[in-house]
Chain A
């Protein structure tokens, strides 16, 4: 394992340890609440993995806090490569059952309190993009994004926690376990409380107090479909910092600096954008400067909330991913992204019976910890005929060729590998490979989305020995030709 992956593991391990502890302690104190009850479904930032892959709908990014869970799909209509991708983002602290504490401690202005809030709003994002071509290109990216300063946090700067508690209490709802993340299922209409908080936060200028977020990620072109350090043709690091200042209830000013291909060619996208906010959609107009091409590029985006937890972003922007050869650089591109995200201010639903807390539930943080410690990069399984022939096994006729095979919805739909390059010969070997990104995607989706890389080698033909033609007796001999 590379030192880099050890570092990643240590970071994740640290995060998971940090997240496990507060959840355990909080279960002992009924006065605490889960701060993830107060996630508003507005200002949803782009998937960080799309940012590092260079396909985010906009180049100027929101500085707002992430949603603890998000899944995105993206399509691009630009040149013939038409990159399309998926990304998932998860806040490890949320995944591990964290977020349980008293509102007073959450609002603490101490260094520890601030750091804990940053941890609460730190998301890990994985994404992959497929671009058409010959051969098609697969790019993968992983990113970590944190919100460092968030004056638009409703749990921090609105009475939403108190209002929700009062509404529940007044409706006769018995005390809710502190670890409970979702309070919309108790038959109480909380919509007005969330709507009020949403309005307040979107209008909160705070005297120019910005929301500030930043992130780091790396992306590379997947060679052979297997993600390990040696399998990435290009590995590019990206750092970014974005700020979002609310000017009034209608307009936000956004600013972003992205340092692209850090430690490599190192160029930057520096941009500003104006966001016009309405109740149903946001309109973003951006202008950014690319230090690589020394040019200014405009872009526009529409961000609509289709359902309470589903958003759609359509942007007309400039395709700028030259470092990953994804497409022709600096061509105009229409990008459409659909994003599902976790939010608390969704429509109320009838209360459903809840399963009792089982050992499995209690063991969740431990299992997560165990999972993190067993990550080891990529691995493969092989069906091979090598070693089956006493006289020696002929090697394959071709090099590896393969696809990423997907099993969706627990096997309801699957993408099948169909070798078309073997010219009627059988297969010599089949190799199934997985990697960190695939495994994580499978686990996060509970197996609903399960990719695996399948590669095959074609066997050689098996012609019997032929006979060299025999010349007729009267064929004259000839003199050797000089070259």
Chain B
């Protein structure tokens, strides 16, 4: 390999790694930053050289009998993406390549201009910026933009775009490194993307298999290192946002339970216009005034009455802000309602006509410090029951929490937590990382289980680690995922490399 193609591999031994939300503190044998050889020029030979470097790291892990995990943005609240062995920081790997129609398979049912090839470390913010430059847009993402593309899809990151799945459902091909001597280009057989000759440029083994592809989509680093992905994107569009509190009524329940918005007033659009994005947020201490509904409408051009989104000033919450609230509410839970009622209007006020591109609307987060979040996928027809249970439990727990309901179209990945057909309601509980919050989570998980509501959990958010988190998937989905893993990682030694403690605790390491 020419010297100028050798990637930089910077390893630090025996250090502690902490996630973005400061809820995971993991001692790792080696934290390895991997940089492309030509970091500032997207070069295909350099990309292939990085593939070789990542394969070499897997080889080291095998040789030293250490587990290995590719690390994304570090945004997961759980240790799903970490290991105590070799943690590979993929964030510097942010090449993007533009595909042309000659790159596509003859049977590809899409045009190259609506595809983008992104290296694993490309962040959502970078994707949005580069897509904007070519008048394209992501279809969905999480609420903010700091995740890497590989990390976000691997944990099933989602938004609340109605009729759109999680981020992983926009992915149409994966470049997966599984062994020191093997890396594969993985697509669905039913929907091929790259032509064989284009795959040859990667020197990868071509695998077209629907089941393997679907299983690998949401596999949280357990199938190997995802080095590159091909995403399907849309033409650039704009979102115009409206947010208001709606008193509880049959009309609000129709929206929450059936996504029927016909009875709502003041939506910013005529009642027959369906929003592209919808979410409901409840203040647990103000149920009478009802949920705050956020509607976003998709427009092909910037609306004439667009109100630009305001940007944060120089004063922002510091690292300790969430901690202070957590300790305060733990020390004196009776303060919690007052605090939540005081903070919510500041942080979550009404919105009228703010608009922007996807990247402008789902923008940088100002939330820092130790915060907590759990997100549970439930069938749409059980959402009211679940919300009632939350309010009932919080009457005794007084958690410093907000409840949110988001909506995601069910995808094909067997372990996507947004798997309840046809639309999964995602019930989120967010707040500071207080002891009271964690106790509340335990109570909620137990209560929903007792109610017989099938709950699937966002892999990157807090979830029960007592072996029950996978119950709602059913044996068929679990078996499909495990079988696919055995196919792609045929030896026990390789599976050990890509097994971490959390996989073991979830019972998925078989």
| Chain A positions near chain B (C-beta within 8 angstroms) | 1-2, 133-135, 223-224, 230, 233, 379-380, 382, 386-387, 389-399, 401, 421, 423-425, 458, 460-472, 475-478, 480-483
Contacts and interface: CB of A to CB of B under 8 A. Distances in A.
A468 B117 contact: yes
B28 to A, nearest CB: 10
Contacts of B316: 387
B99 A468 contact: yes
A472 B362 CA distance: 40
B409 to A, nearest CB: 24
A380 B319 contact: yes
B39 A399 contact: no
B384 interface: no
A465 B98 contact: yes
Nearest to B19: A399
A471 B124 CA distance: 29
B125 interface: yes
B92 A397 contact: yes
Contacts of B74: 399
A477 to B, nearest CB: 5
A38 B412 CA distance: 83
Interface in B451-510: 487-488
17 contacts: A380-B319, A387-B312, A392-B364, A393-B125, A395-B145, A396-B91, A398-B92, A399-B89, A461-B39, A463-B95, A463-B96, A465-B96, A465-B98, A468-B99, A468-B117, A470-B103, A480-B208
A468 B201 contact: yes
A47 B44 CA distance: 60
Contacts of B33: 397-398, 421
Of A387, A389, A394, chain B has the most CB atoms within 10 Å of the CB of A394
Interface string B312-356: 100010111000000100000000000000000000000000000
B91 A395 contact: yes
Contacts of B360: 390-392
A481 B206 contact: yes
Main secondary structure of the interface of B (DSSP, over half): mixed
Contact of B145 (A133, A134, A392, A398): A392
A395 B146 contact: yes
B97 A465 contact: yes
B176 to A, nearest CB: 11
A460 B198 contact: no
Contacts of A134: 12-14
A481 B99 contact: no
Contacts of A461: 35-36, 39-40, 92, 94
Contacts of B97: 465-468
A273 to B, nearest CB: 35
A460 B119 CA distance: 13
B132 interface: yes
Interface string B97-125: 11110110010000000000100010111
Contact of A478 (B92, B184, B196): B196
A236 B184 CA distance: 49
Contacts of A224: 16, 18
A460 B126 contact: yes
B359 to A, nearest CB: 5
A1 B35 CA distance: 39
Contacts of B288: none
Given A425-B39, A461-B94, A467-B98, A481 B207 contact: yes
A423 B14 contact: no
B91 A397 contact: yes
A462 B194 CA distance: 26
Given A392-B359, A393-B364, A421-B10, A466 B92 contact: no
Contact of A471 (B25, B195, B311): B195
B364 A471 contact: no
Of A380, A395, A458, A475, chain B has the most CB atoms within 10 Å of the CB of A395
Interface in B112-152: 117, 121, 123-126, 128-130, 132-134, 145-146
Given A421-B10, A425-B39, A466-B96, A471 B123 contact: no
Contact of B103 (A1, A393, A399, A471): A471
B48 to A, nearest CB: 10
Question: Nearest 3 pairs between A and B by C-beta?
Answer: A466-B42, A461-B39, A392-B125
Interface in B49-107: 73-74, 89, 91-92, 94-100, 102-103, 106
Given A392-B145, A425-B39, A465-B42, A483 B117 contact: no
Given A392-B145, A460-B92, A483-B207, 16 more contacts: A135-B12, A223-B18, A386-B366, A387-B311, A392-B359, A397-B92, A397-B121, A424-B39, A465-B130, A466-B95, A467-B97, A468-B97, A468-B117, A468-B201, A480-B208, A483-B184
Of the four ranges (under 10, 10 to 19, 20 to 34, 35 or more), the interface on chain B belongs to 35 or more
Given A465-B98, A467-B97, A477 B106 contact: yes
A471 B197 contact: yes
A135 B10 CA distance: 13
Contacts of B207: 480-483
B214 to A, nearest CB: 14
A394 B201 contact: no
B145 A135 contact: no
A424 B195 CA distance: 36
A471 B92 contact: no
B385 interface: no
A421 B89 CA distance: 13
Nearest to A469: B201
Nearest to B116: A465
B232 to A, nearest CB: 15
A135 B25 CA distance: 16
Nearest to B47: A466
Of B196, B212, B366, chain A has the most CB atoms within 10 Å of the CB of B196
B448 interface: no
Contacts of A398: 33, 89, 91-92
A393 B126 CA distance: 8
A469 B319 contact: no
Interface string B1-21: 000000010101111111000
Contact of B123 (A395, A476, A477, A478): A395
B1 to A, nearest CB: 18
Contacts of B126: 394, 460
Of A134, A424, A465, chain B has the most CB atoms within 10 Å of the CB of A465
Contacts of A464: 41-42
Contacts of A476: 196-197
B189 interface: yes
Contacts of A482: 207
A1 B327 CA distance: 7
B322 to A, nearest CB: 12
A468 B125 contact: no
Contacts of B197: 471-472, 475-477
Contacts of A462: 40
A386 B364 contact: yes
A468 B44 contact: yes
Contacts of B364: 386-387, 389, 392-393
B35 A471 contact: no
A93 B42 CA distance: 65
A379 B323 CA distance: 12
B209 A391 contact: no
A478 B206 contact: yes
A461 B201 CA distance: 24
B357 interface: yes
Contacts of B10: 421, 423
Contacts of A467: 97-98, 100
Nearest to A398: B33
A391 B128 contact: yes
A396 to B, nearest CB: 7
